[in-house]
């Protein structure tokens, strides 16, 4: 956690909060509590963050991070369904928990971890910070010390580096620097509860220790600045000793390596890392021949994506066909084949593949997204729209579906519906001002449709009320 939320939380009014220390919740007591004012501030925080950080919108990667986060939070009580998980494109090895239950991991963290358990251990730690209400407790501490928390602090953390340091110096100076990190006590609390969250989700407890020790060791060996995650979650011998002592309480989870994790990691590398680093065709080819079975399968999948990125679409199709033929039961390979076919301009074949993927358990919504894209590219606009509408009934908070729907409605010259869908996309991204602007534009294109006008007007009023509540929160 970077402490990003302190400035954003400055105007929140909450019930009296516990003292800075000695308030470790037991697993039975742990619960996610997100008051309305904090929810509103979380929206504002993410909207600001999007202006300076590159949030990943790839549907498959977003789906993976959200599913992993929800799996970890499932054992907690309270508002777990209101937690929001994000992936940010950055080489930084980092993660943070912002206000309103907004949690994010960086792609650099995904590629640095060696297993899903290691990635889960970091996310469990961040979820524990939310469950322990550490941000509101830090806010109260700042208030008691009469230290102002301003928007400059938010900018300082978001900008980072020299610009961030300058922004912080211009606002609060050295006194505020203490507020930008969790205390040792808060880190201890998050470690203890995080281990419970991790093991309750059937991950091995030692994954947390393995990752932290390796990260610390690698940073020392490289004689370089510590990774961002260690700077914002500083390691101490006492902290490491506490985690190590706690490990004896937990047995081995013994679950097999996660294919989903290895494929998500390969997708991150193929889409976001340069060919000179981890995203090269040659690198994936080598791994496919030398890695163990999960790693080799993921490498073949990454190879398909790397070939597409490199423009070798025919070779990507051939590689994807072979991979799918070997593992017909795994829907992700069908989507990879469809991606290669679309890149090759073979949209009708992609439609056929995706229709079969849609029938496989657990992939209906994500397949519907790619199917709608393929249908649109093959000129079947009505069918594409129908595919998305069906998917939205199952996943009404999926922003990617609305973004594609806006494009399809635009291709159909249905401008009111296009701007209406675009508004929902921005609303789900916590960009309420932009959502309101698109709805007002939509209202100018309704024509003679009284129903459409009424639905747009009602949504405008709803968002205006939401924004007013945020302003008064």
Q: Which residues contact 314 (CB under 8 A, 6 or more apart)?
A: 344
Which tokens is 18 given? 């516990």
State whether residue 14 is helix, strand or coil: coil
pLDDT at 27: 54
pLDDT at 257: 77
pLDDT at 69: 97
More confident residue, 238 or 165: 238
For the chain, helix, strand, coil in percent to 5 are: 70, 5, 30
Does position 158 have pLDDT exceeding 60, yes or no?
no
pLDDT at 149: 52
**Residue pLDDT, tens place only, 97-148:** 888 899 999 999 999 999 999 999 999 999 999 999 887 777 676 667 665 5
pLDDT-derived band of residue 22, with 50, 70 and 90 as boundaries?
Answer: very low
**Closest Cα partner for 313 from 280, 282, 338?**
338
DSSP 19-86: -SSS-PPPTTT-EE---HHHHHHHHHHHHHHHTTS-B---HHHHHHHHHHHHHHHTTSEESGGG-EEE
pLDDT at 43: 85
Contact predicate 325/293, CB 8 Å: no
pLDDT at 146: 64
Domain extents in the chain:
5-247, 397-473
Which tokens is 453 given? 């006008």
Does position 213 have pLDDT exceeding 90, yes or no?
no
**Residue pLDDT, tens place only, 259-286:** 999 999 999 999 999 887 778 999 999 9
Tell me the percentage of the chain whose pLDDT exceeds 70. Answer: 79
Does position 342 have pLDDT exceeding 70, yes or no?
yes
**Closest Cα partner for 208 from 123, 129, 277, 150?**
123
Q: What is the mean pLDDT of residues 302-317?
A: 97
pLDDT-derived band of residue 444, with 50, 70 and 90 as boundaries?
Answer: very high
Tell me the percentage of the chain whose pLDDT exceeds 90. Answer: 56
Does position 2 have pLDDT exceeding 90, yes or no?
no
pLDDT at 164: 45
Q: Which residues contact 184 (CB under 8 A, 6 or more apart)?
A: 236, 238, 239
**Closest Cα partner for 80 from 221, 240, 201, 216?**
201
CA–CA distances in Å: residue 459 to residues 39, 400, 435: 19, 20, 10
**Closest Cα partner for 409 from 398, 394, 423, 427?**
423
- What sign results for the dihedral spanned by CA atoms 404, 406, 411, 417? positive
In angstroms, what is the C-alpha Rg of the chain?
Answer: 23
Contact predicate 173/149, CB 8 Å: no
pLDDT at 236: 66
Does position 437 have pLDDT exceeding 60, yes or no?
yes
pLDDT at 455: 96
pLDDT at 320: 98
More confident residue, 445 or 220: 445
Whole-number Å distance between alpha carbons of 367 and 348:
15
Contact predicate 196/25, CB 8 Å: no
Contact predicate 279/272, CB 8 Å: yes
**Closest Cα partner for 261 from 125, 58, 118?**
118
**Residue pLDDT, tens place only, 26-57:** 555 778 989 887 888 788 888 888 888 899 99
**Residue pLDDT, tens place only, 286-296:** 999 987 888 99
pLDDT at 41: 78
Beta bridge partners of 96: 104
Whole-number Å distance between alpha carbons of 133 and 112:
28
**Residue pLDDT, tens place only, 75-97:** 898 989 999 999 999 999 999 88
* Cβ contacts of 66-75, under 8 Å, gap ≥ 24: 67/260, 68/116, 68/119, 68/120, 68/123, 69/103, 69/123, 69/127, 71/201, 72/120, 72/123, 72/124, 72/127, 72/197, 72/198, 72/201, 73/32, 73/127, 73/197, 74/201, 75/27, 75/197, 75/200, 75/201
More confident residue, 8 or 356: 356
Q: What is the mean pLDDT of residues 221-239?
A: 68
Contact predicate 367/358, CB 8 Å: yes
Least confident interval from 29-33, 196-200, 330-334: 29-33
Which tokens is 147 given? 């230290």
pLDDT at 408: 98
Triad 395, 398, 402: Cα angle to 5°: 110
Spell out a b/e string for 321-344, using b for 16 or more CB atoms within 10 Å of the CB, else e.
bebbeeeeebbbbbbbbbbbbbbb
pLDDT at 52: 82
More confident residue, 312 or 290: 312
């Amino acid at each position: 956690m970077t402490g990003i939320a302190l400035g954003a939380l400055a105007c929140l009014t909450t019930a009296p909060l516990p003292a800075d220390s000695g308030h470790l919740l037991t697993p039975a007591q742990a619960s996610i509590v997100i008051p309305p004012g904090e929810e509103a501030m979380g929206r504002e925080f993410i909207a600001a963050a999007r202006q300076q950080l590159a949030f990943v919108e790839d549907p498959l990667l977003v789906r993976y991070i959200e599913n992993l986060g929800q799996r970890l939070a499932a054992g907690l009580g309270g508002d777990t369904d209101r937690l929001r998980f994000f992936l940010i494109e950055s080489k930084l090895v980092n993660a943070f928990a912002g206000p309103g239950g907004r949690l994010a991991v960086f792609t650099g963290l995904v590629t640095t971890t060696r297993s899903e358990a290691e990635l889960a251990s970091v996310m469990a730690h961040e979820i524990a910070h939310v469950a322990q209400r550490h941000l509101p407790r830090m806010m109260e501490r700042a208030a008691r010390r009469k230290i102002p928390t301003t928007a400059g602090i938010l900018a300082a953390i978001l900008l980072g580096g020299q610009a961030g340091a300058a922004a912080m110096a211009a606002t609060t100076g050295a006194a505020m620097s203490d507020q930008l990190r969790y205390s040792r006590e808060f880190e201890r609390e998050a470690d203890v509860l995080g281990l419970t969250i991790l093991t309750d989700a059937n991950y091995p407890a030692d994954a947390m220790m393995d990752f932290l020790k390796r990260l610390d060791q690698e940073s020392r060996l490289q004689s370089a600045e510590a990774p961002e995650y260690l700077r914002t979650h500083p390691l101490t011998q006492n902290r490491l000793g506490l985690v190590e002592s706690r490990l004896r309480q937990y047995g081995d989870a013994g679950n097999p390596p996660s294919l989903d994790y290895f494929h998500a990691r390969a997708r991150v590398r193929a889409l976001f890392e340069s060919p000179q680093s981890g995203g090269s065709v040659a690198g994936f080819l080598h791994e496919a021949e030398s890695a163990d079975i999960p790693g080799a399968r993921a490498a073949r999948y990454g190879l398909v994506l790397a070939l597409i990125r490199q423009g070798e679409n025919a070779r990507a199709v051939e590689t994807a066909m072979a991979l799918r033929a070997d593992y017909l039961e795994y829907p992700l390979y069908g989507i990879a084949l469809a991606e290669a076919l679309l890149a090759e301009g073979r949209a009708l074949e992609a439609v056929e593949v995706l229709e079969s993927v849609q029938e496989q358990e657990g992939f209906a919504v994500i397949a519907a997204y790619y199917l709608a894209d393929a249908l649109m590219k093959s000129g079947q606009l009505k069918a594409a729209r129908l595919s998305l509408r069906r998917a939205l009934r199952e996943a009404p908070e999926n922003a990617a579906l609305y973004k594609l729907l806006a494009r399809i409605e635009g291709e159909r010259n249905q401008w009111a519906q296009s701007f209406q869908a675009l508004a929902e996309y921005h609303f789900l991204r916590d960009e309420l001002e932009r959502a309101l602007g698109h709805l007002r534009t939509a209202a100018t294109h309704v024509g003679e449709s009284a129903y459409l006008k009424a639905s747009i007007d009602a949504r405008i009023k709803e968002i205006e009320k939401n924004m007013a509540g945020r302003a008064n929160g």
